């Protein structure tokens, strides 16, 4: 792609052009940029658009910034990049059962149902507890605030996801804003394409109050946040067979998943978090985090570069069992897991890491010194004694250029110890892992989305 900058004096040589996202993401510095060059007029710069895996349209533009600033003074038209792969409705056995017997059932579809928009059905459900709303597969330009009833079940039906989004988020927060303090169960829905709201941090789901949220077979995509939750009132989260992809923001504080300090217990199983941009695949402040049989995959291309796969800001009680943790050839930030490096005054107790049966792969081809990867990055005040010992994990990556623990400030990396049952390999070939995304043998159920009834 050739970009011409017209009549740019650029006397300081500090004007630059960046490739940027024009929607969904927080404002910030472009992810790919070139300097115009000192004193050039009508300069033409050449960019290579990144080839990315996406089943959704990608929207990009170029921005001109002067004197090393981060405030654009000119924009190109928006470019629409076609999906690199076709959307295929998910398949596989859907074994989810009814959480409870509905006292009332409402229906949503484009025509012929009780309501034509999910938000209208939610408003009507507020007076009847234990309401179920079925939403027919299709696209709904809509957002909703769920403040009542105390128990609400949203269920997509019809062979594919019921999809919501393509609009400014409700309350400048999210496609679904949940603050009832009760229970919200969301099955078989695709939530995303959230235009940036007043907060600059629009989420597919924004939990702004306490309560219990269950996500079962959902697809949260292409927003500033996939799931974002508040920091004060108690929440529990259960995430199963759900995919989070292409959420985040170029300035850093946006993620595929952000569990705030209100989290009491977070359980994630048979799910996928991949292609976060700049932020984390899974960031948490929850007191307890249980992750079992998930795929956390980052840095597979030159555009979607995450900060790390997991960041437990305060350093809490974490159980990581039989997951795949994979960083790819686009790696920019070189640690896999952060623990206690973003405490912000929060002190959780107990603090414990239980890491067993996982596969951890570093596919970054650039292993030349001083290019190092820290498997764990830990703030020095969090050092446990005795150190935590990991068990039955497979670690893949050149050990000469991968350290097991990096600490801020740097000290001897003895906080975590690879136990005698862990196995360390220099390459995938040595480990016998030929599949692109190998799944731990203990995981026998389908990971990711399943069929929609």
Domain boundaries along the sequence of the chain: 2-81, 104-431
Query: Any residues with CB less than 8 A from the CB of 120 and at least 6 apart, and which?
Result: 108
Distance CA 47, CA 2 (A): 6
pLDDT bracket for residue 99 (50, 70, 90): very high
**Whole-angstrom Cα distance, residue 122 to residue 269?**
28
Query: Quick one: average pLDDT of 146-165?
Result: 97
Strand-pair category, 335-339 with 310-312: parallel
| Residue 17 to residue 34: CA distance in whole angstroms | 5
Distance CA 176, CA 208 (A): 10
Mention every residue, 6+ apart, whose C-beta is less than 8 A from residue 21: 59, 60, 250
Summarised one tens digit per residue, pLDDT across range 346-370 is: 878 888 889 999 999 988 776 543 3
Query: How far is 36 from 8, CA to CA, in rounded Å?
Result: 8
Tokens of 440: 């731990």
SS3 178: strand
Distance CA 329, CA 301 (A): 7
Q: Which residue has the higher pLDDT, 295 or 416?
A: 295
- Return the H-helix or E-strand segment holding 124: helix 118-125
Confidence at residue 270, expressed as pLDDT on a 0 to 100 scale: 98
For residue 170, which phi and psi values (nearest 5 degrees)?
Answer: -60, 140
As a dihedral over the C-alpha atoms of residue 396, residue 397, residue 403, residue 405, rounded to 10 degrees, the angle is -40
Scanning the structure block, which residue is given the tokens 């990867």? 373
C-beta of residue 442 within 8 angstroms of C-beta of residue 236: no
Beta pairing class for 32-35 and 416-418:
unpaired
Which run of H or of E encompasses 140?
Answer: strand 131-141
Query: How many other C-beta atoms can be found within 10 angstroms of the C-beta atom of residue 89?
Result: 12
Instruction: Please say if the pLDDT value at position 432 is more than 80.
Output: yes
The residue written with tokens 């250029």 in the block is 401
* 295 in Cβ contact with 320 (< 8 Å): no
Q: What is the pLDDT of residues 186-223, one digit of tens each?
A: 999 999 987 654 455 789 999 999 999 999 999 999 88
What was the pLDDT predicted at 392?
Answer: 96
Task: List the one residue out of 41, 31, 95 whose CA is nearest residue 445.
Answer: 95
Bridging pattern class, strands 310-312 and 282-284: parallel
pTM, two decimal places: 0.91
Q: What topology is assigned to 104-431 in CATH?
A: Pectate Lyase C-like (2.160.20)
Separation between Cα atoms, residue 347 and residue 344, nearest integer Å: 9
Answer with the residue of higher pLDDT: 174 or 330: 174
Residue with tokens 């009680």: 317
Beta carbons within 8 Å of 444's beta carbon, 6+ residues apart: none
Q: What is the pLDDT of residues 251-305, one digit of tens each?
A: 557 899 999 999 999 999 999 999 998 889 999 999 999 999 999 999 888 778 8
């Amino acid at each position: 792609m050739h970009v011409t900058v017209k009549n740019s004096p650029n006397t300081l040589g500090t004007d630059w052009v960046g490739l940027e996202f024009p929607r969904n993401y927080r404002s910030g510095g472009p992810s790919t940029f070139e300097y115009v060059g000192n004193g050039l007029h009508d300069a033409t710069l050449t960019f290579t658009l990144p080839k990315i895996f996406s089943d959704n349209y990608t929207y990009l533009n170029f921005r001109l910034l002067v004197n090393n600033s981060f405030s654009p003074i000119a924009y190109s038209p928006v470019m629409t990049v076609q999906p690199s792969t076709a959307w295929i409705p998910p398949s596989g056995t859907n074994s989810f059962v009814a959480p409870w017997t509905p006292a009332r059932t409402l229906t949503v579809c484009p025509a012929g149902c009780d309501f034509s928009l999910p938000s209208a059905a939610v408003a009507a459900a507020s007076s009847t507890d234990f309401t179920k709303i079925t939403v027919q597969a299709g696209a709904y330009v809509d957002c909703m605030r769920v403040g009542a009833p105390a128990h609400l079940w949203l269920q997509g039906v019809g062979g594919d996801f019921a999809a919501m989004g393509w609009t400014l988020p409700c309350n400048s927060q999210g496609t679904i804003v949940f603050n009832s303090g009760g229970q919200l169960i969301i099955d078989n829905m695709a939530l995303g394409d959230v235009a940036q709201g007043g907060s600059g941090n629009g989420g597919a789901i924004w939990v702004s109050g306490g309560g219990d949220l269950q996500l079962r077979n959902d697809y949260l995509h292409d927003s500033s946040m996939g799931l974002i939750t508040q920091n004060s009132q108690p929440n529990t989260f259960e995430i199963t067979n759900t995919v989070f992809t292409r959420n985040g923001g170029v300035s850093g504080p946006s993620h595929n998943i952000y569990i705030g300090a209100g989290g009491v217990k977070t359980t994630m199983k048979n799910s996928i978090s991949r292609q976060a941009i700049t932020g984390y695949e899974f960031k948490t402040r929850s007191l307890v985090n249980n992750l079992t049989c998930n795929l956390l995959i980052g840095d597979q291309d030159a555009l979607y570069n995450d900060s790390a796969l997991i960041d437990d800001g305060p350093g809490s009680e974490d159980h990581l069992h039989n997951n795949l943790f994979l960083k790819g050839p686009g790696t920019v930030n070189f640690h896999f897991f952060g623990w206690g490096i973003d405490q912000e005054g929060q002190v959780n107790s107990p603090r414990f890491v239980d890491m067993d049966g996982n596969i951890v792969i570093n596919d970054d081809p650039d292993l030349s010194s001083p290019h190092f990867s820290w498997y764990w990055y830990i703030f020095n005040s969090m050092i446990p004694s005795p150190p935590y010992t990991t068990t039955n994990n497979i670690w893949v990556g050149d050990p000469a250029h991968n350290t097991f623990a990096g600490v801020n400030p740097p000290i001897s990396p003895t906080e975590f110890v690879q136990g005698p049952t862990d196995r360390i390999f220099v390459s995938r070939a040595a480990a016998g892992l030929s599949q692109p995304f190998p799944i731990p043998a203990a995981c026998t159920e389908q990971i990711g989305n399943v069929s929609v009834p």
